[in-house]
Structure formats: structure tokens, C-alpha cells
Amino acid sequence: MWHGPPPPTLVPMNANMNMNPHLTETPAKPHNTAAFYGQAVASFAVAMGATAIGIFRLNADAWVRGFLAIAVLYLVTSSFTLAKVIRDRQDSGR
């Protein structure tokens, strides 16, 4: 048998209830912290640097290394474009 406190009573929200005037209907836009931004920039720099070093030190002809470098740059620009398109689509749905 339960001997703890009674469960809380749910009170329905009423349109006539006094609302806090400082609260708005629009949710606040989330902001990234400086640490998150720094981590993202550092991660991008390390990934690009490691890829560039790997392509440079690859035992292959210059045209093969050049092709790989162009492919990496194309992949990076395509990733930025895709991220922007997804963000714009989400923003327009709000």
C-alpha cells in the first residue's frame, strides 16, 4: 500500500489567467557558445590539414594528388552548400 505523498493535482490552463508580460510566444533563438564555435573551427582545420598532408605525402603522380585535392575541395564546398540549404529549409518552416 502506498504511504507517500499524494500525486500533484493538475490544473488546466485558462485563457483568462494572468500571463507574465516578459514571456513571448516566439522561442529564443539558440546561440552557440564560443567554445563550441572554437571546437568546430579547430576540427575543420585539423581535418583539412590532415587530408592535405596525406595527399601531399601520397606516393602517386602529381596529377593523382591534384585530382584528390580538387575532389576534397569539391566535397567541402558541397557540404557547406548542403548545410546551408538544410538550414534555410528549416528556417522557412518556422
The half-sphere exposure of 7 on its side-chain side, counting CA atoms within 13 A, is 4
Distance CA 93, CA 84 (A): 14
pLDDT digits (tens, 9 = 90+) for 34-67: 999 999 999 999 999 999 999 999 999 999 999 9
- Determine contact, residues 56/65, Cβ cutoff 8 Å: yes
Write down the pLDDT at residue 86.
93
pLDDT at 25 over 70: no
Q: Between residues 67 and 27, which one has the greater pLDDT?
A: 67
Write down the pLDDT at residue 16.
53
- At residue 85, the 3 state secondary structure works out as helix
Mean pLDDT of 67-72: 97
- Determine contact, residues 76/48, Cβ cutoff 8 Å: yes
Mean pLDDT of 8-23: 63
